[in-house]
Structure 1
Amino acid sequence: MTSAHRVAAIISAYNPPADLVTKVERLARQVEGIIVVDDGSPADVSAVLQDLEEAGAVVLKQGVNSGIAAALNAGIRHAAESSPDFFLTLDQDSELDPDYVARALEAYTAAAAQGVAVGMVCAESHNGHPVLLQRPGVPFPEAFDPMQSGTLIPAATFDAAGLLEEDLFIDCVDSEFTARIRELGLKAIVAPGANISHAVGESRPMLVGKWHVTIGGQKRFVHSHAPFRVYYITRNSLVMYRRYLTKQPLWVMRRMGLDIIFDGIRVVYGPHRARQVAAIAFGIRDALTGRMGRISAKENALVSPRRKKADA
């Protein structure tokens, strides 16, 4: 890649699949360096990690599973030693379009030239679907609640705002960081034409009895998360809302409304409904008591679906 800006990509990995190697090889055409952080994978992924190194990535290994924020921060700190201009954060199940980084850099340059204080550049679409915007129709629209995967972050943003919040462990890490940089007057702009492909969780038909819900001539599906993820989503969202309600009330109220809708859909139409409800309840309790970090082993066992025993 030839660019006036040096970009270091950081990928968080957990039990990384073999196809991550191919993704890294393609990503290498867009950035100057790639760091893959294995976040304490319990499976034996030594062969995949070796292939990633042979593909040109630097592989860092976390001793224990510490969460996506800690994994990305480890990679950012390591990459910062070579002083890149930008950091690109990614999940292992994401893949960028071939011109993604070029489009993101173009958007940054154009906005900065017009005096916009750019804190990050985000995808304009996920899996071909436009992201929600703060205010559509403005010259450099801001993403409403961008996910961290595919976010191009200037080094100066981390200098001003600090790194990602590790106590959140998984969910809302990106949302909290976006809210934090807004407090500094920085913008999370979208890059026109920049698309990222990303897995969206388990998908199942939205059924009422035996009827597949159809709206506007299209059959609807429920994209659900495992109950332990619902715990983090609930707890971390509430912690974040308490922190930013008085500072960014419109953003908090809009996001809270979306949470209520999505939680309702998961509970009514999704799998493991009782466990989803339990995960939400545990998340509310821990948000109120201030318990952060990883979900406890006891609660994780209570909300996790039991695996069926293999046939003898």
Structure 2
Amino acid sequence: MPRPTPSDSAPHRAPWVGAIVTAFAPEDGLPAAVETIASQVDLVVVVDDGSPVEHAAATDRVLDACARLGALVVRHDENRGIGAALNSGLDAVLARAPEAASGHGPFVLTLDQDSTLPPGYVGALVAAAQDAAAAGVDVGMVGPSSATGIRSSVRRREGTVVHGKEPIQSGLLLPLDAVRRLGPFAADLFIDGVDTEYYLRARAKGLAVLVAPDAVLDHRLGRQHEVRLGSRRLSLTVAAEYRYYYQHRNLVVLLRRYARREPAWAVGAVGKAIRHLVVTTVFVPGRARRSRLVVRGLRDGFRGVGGRMSSS
């Protein structure tokens, strides 16, 4: 697989980059996405997180196509959650990567199965990491300037180095030396909040969270629900119902772990959760089911329950 190439005008080395793509009941478009990713990195690891047995034939077909394109395919025998899937991918990347040295590389890129990389995406993130490392910044992670039209929040700028706030997990570039210092993703959270926890842990370790100004990611964020307010139409992003359990359970878990260290994040996270819950309760059908899952999630969060939601 060819190495990523930063812009011709920038005097950057092209370090080794491995990519992790987490998948669950992957669709037929995944091999095309893998082919695009493979053109920008040295290794692609596709982790199937225990896709349902009823999708076995389709899953086998898609994963076999990814393997024929040169991807390393790792399969879980059961659904363990996004944190565990990322950790399996990290194990595979770390076993094959050159020795980690600094913010100059090598790197790992984390991706969801529904993210698409435009040409030059990886090179833009690598360039941002190398610029920051050359300026003496201890790089923890680098995210895109926007994902699906939503701009990343900027904390401050130091010359060409852009410090950001919380990024999304998909499309995130991590120096492997930072990964070794931070350790694995929090598998006990199962799904929502795994990226937030890693971001907060990086900040607690004094690692910088950066934004690559020239990187734009195409990533789907839940389903869209349109509502009318008079003559106006609004499009709301709504997660699958079961996600409301994990979102609120894991918010409680993260508040208990990090609120004292990160009070501004804590206030913002609670405010965002309340706003979203109010809006979806008013405008989106299924409010009773979502409300029950929210209450259950909050209760389990205070009880310290982790892992996959029980069926009872």
Normalization by structure 1: what TM-score? 0.90
Structure 1: 4+ residue segments shifted above 4 A: 136-139
Residue from 34, 45, 54 that aligns with 1:35: 45
Query: What whole-Å deviation, never above 9, does each CA across 1:96-144 have from its counterpart, x for those lacking one?
Result: 2211100001101111111111101111101133122334687533332
Pair 138,264 (structure 1): closer, same or farther in 2 beyond 3 Å: farther
Distance of 1:116 and 1:128 partners within structure 2: 28
Distance of 2:161 and 2:274 partners within structure 1: 29
Task: Give yes or no for contact 1:204–1:221 (8 Å, CA) kept in 2.
Answer: yes
Residue from 139, 151, 175 that aligns with 2:172: 151
Distance of 1:245 and 1:140 partners within structure 2: 27
Distance of 1:137 and 1:107 partners within structure 2: 12
Residue 269 (structure 2) pairs with residue 255 (structure 1) = yes
Task: Give yes or no for contact 1:126–1:197 (8 Å, CA) kept in 2.
Answer: yes
| Structural RMSD (CA) | 1.5
User: Residues 149-188 of structure 1: matches in 2 within 5 Å?
Assistant: 149-188=170-209
Residue from 112, 117, 138 that aligns with 2:138: 117
User: Residues 79-118 of structure 1: matches in 2 within 5 Å?
Assistant: 79-84=93-98, 85-118=106-139
* Identical-pair percentage: 37
Query: What whole-Å deviation, never above 9, does each CA across 1:131-182 have from its counterpart, x for those lacking one?
Result: 2233468753333221110000011111111110000000000000000010
Q: Please identify, of 147-156 and 81-90, the stretch whose mean Cα deviation from structure 2 is larger.
A: 81-90
What is the SS of the residue equivalent to 1:31? coil
Pair 102,65 (structure 1): closer, same or farther in 2 beyond 3 Å: same
Residue from 275, 286, 306 that aligns with 2:289: 275
Give the paired residue count: 291
Pair 52,134 (structure 1): closer, same or farther in 2 beyond 3 Å: same
Q: For residue 5 of structure 1, what is the aligned residue in structure 2?
A: 15
Distance of 2:119 and 2:272 partners within structure 1: 32
What is the SS of the residue equivalent to 1:70? helix
What is the SS of the residue equivalent to 2:162? coil
Residue from 198, 214, 231 that aligns with 1:193: 214
Paired AA for residue 159 in structure 1? R
Query: What whole-Å deviation, never above 9, does each CA across 1:199-253 have from its counterpart, x for those lacking one?
Result: 1111111235xx35x3xxxx31111011210110111011101111111111221
Stretches of structure 1 that go unaligned for 5 or more consecutive residues are 299-312
Distance of 1:220 and 1:131 partners within structure 2: 21
Distance of 1:91 and 1:183 partners within structure 2: 25
Task: Give yes or no for contact 1:222–1:269 (8 Å, CA) kept in 2.
Answer: no
Deviation at 1:62, TM superposition (A): 0.2
Task: Give yes or no for contact 1:207–1:269 (8 Å, CA) kept in 2.
Answer: no
Task: Give yes or no for contact 2:18–2:97 (8 Å, CA) kept in 1.
Answer: no
What is the SS of the residue equivalent to 1:22? helix
User: Residues 204-219 of structure 1: matches in 2 within 5 Å?
Assistant: 204-208=225-229, 211=230, 214=232, 219=233
Distance of 2:308 and 2:159 partners within structure 1: 40
Paired AA for residue 107 in structure 1? A
Normalization by structure 2: what TM-score? 0.90
Q: For residue 289 of structure 1, what is the aligned residue in structure 2?
A: 303
Stretches of structure 2 that go unaligned for 5 or more consecutive residues are 4-12, 99-105
Distance of 1:236 and 1:134 partners within structure 2: 24
Paired AA for residue 17 in structure 2? V
Q: Please identify, of 77-86 and 283-292, the stretch whose mean Cα deviation from structure 2 is larger.
A: 77-86
Q: Please identify, of 31-40 and 3-12, the stretch whose mean Cα deviation from structure 2 is larger.
A: 3-12
